[in-house]
Amino acid sequence: MPIPGGLLTTAMGVMPHKDIDRALSVALSLDIPFWPQLPLYSYYEDMYVQASEHFPGILLDIENRKLGFSINKFELEMEKLIEHFDEPEYFDITPEYSAVYHRFLEMDHSTRPAIRGQIEGPISFGFNVADEDGRPILFNDMVRSFLLEFMAKRVNIQLKRLKEKNPNAFMFIDEPGLQFVFSGMSGYNNVLAHDDMELFLSLIESPKGIHLCGKPDWDFLLTLDMDILSLDVYSNGEVFVNYWSSIRRFLDRGGVLVWGIVPTNFEPFNNENLESLQKRLEEMWRFLGKKGVDIEYLLSRSLLSPATCCLVNPDGEKTVESAFEVIKKLSQKLKEKMVPTGLEPVSSA
């Protein structure tokens, strides 16, 4: 089933809430809801910890909120994992690792245009989790090759569970670590990363896509075999639209873009308003229109979201919740401006 567009709203998974009911209420207020990840509620709800469940070699210290890895433990636990390798349910997130996910699955989402899940991707996980010597496991060829298949199984079982609740379900692979591939200092180059991501995505059922808030090489991402790309255009949009030829090809093959436009950090949020954010979006779309991108089609393949996740605001969840309200108002305002040839102010004419 296709991922809907038409400037509907969704958001990223990580939220600053400590109350499950309140977080779910906010997530469900969007057109395309998702199950929130709440690391301030429990360390088990941290996106890296959730992705680590059943991965051999993991050293998890819940009390001190630490996640590590032991190569010796990895070798010892591989046998147990292989025993379960053909059991898809073994790779799902258990209630211990996310009470929120299972609460979400208990709800009726059948009338929604779509629903969405997420899990940390292998490159970001591999950069973030280090062995006893402080070396990221991504640099271990044996561990990395296994990690790709392991995470693909995690994605597929979650997508299956979500599709049982709504046939238009799709998945975000959260990959903030992709921006480090292009730093020249990561020890893991973009050619190897592209090959790994192509292999990883080939193991995953559709619809599937990548979400990140950083600044990667956009050609790298837009050429991957995925259905949807979610990004922070509030910070990176002016650079992103300069890749207009790759954006056009991505759209031509049916891709969907999620325009993360409303900041969730306290200071930038309070420096913006509905009109300023709308103007910024329209300027990006106008630029793409002048480059030959069909604006009507672009909008039909676009979703709107907050720009980033945020856990560190001085007002807790207040600014994040306000950002969700703004994205809903912005969506409605832009949809009301739609005419048969697209949004008049940003048409390519």
* pLDDT surpassing 60 at residue 346: no
Local confidence band at 344 (pLDDT 50, 70, 90 cut-offs): very low
Please give the CATH architecture assigned to the domain spanning 8-346.
Alpha-Beta Barrel (3.20)
pLDDT tens, 9-57? 999 999 999 999 999 999 999 999 999 999 999 999 999 999 999 999 9
Domain extent listing, the chain: 8-346
- Average pLDDT (197-211) is 96
CA distances from 321 to 21, 22, 236, 276, 284 (A): 14, 10, 22, 19, 25
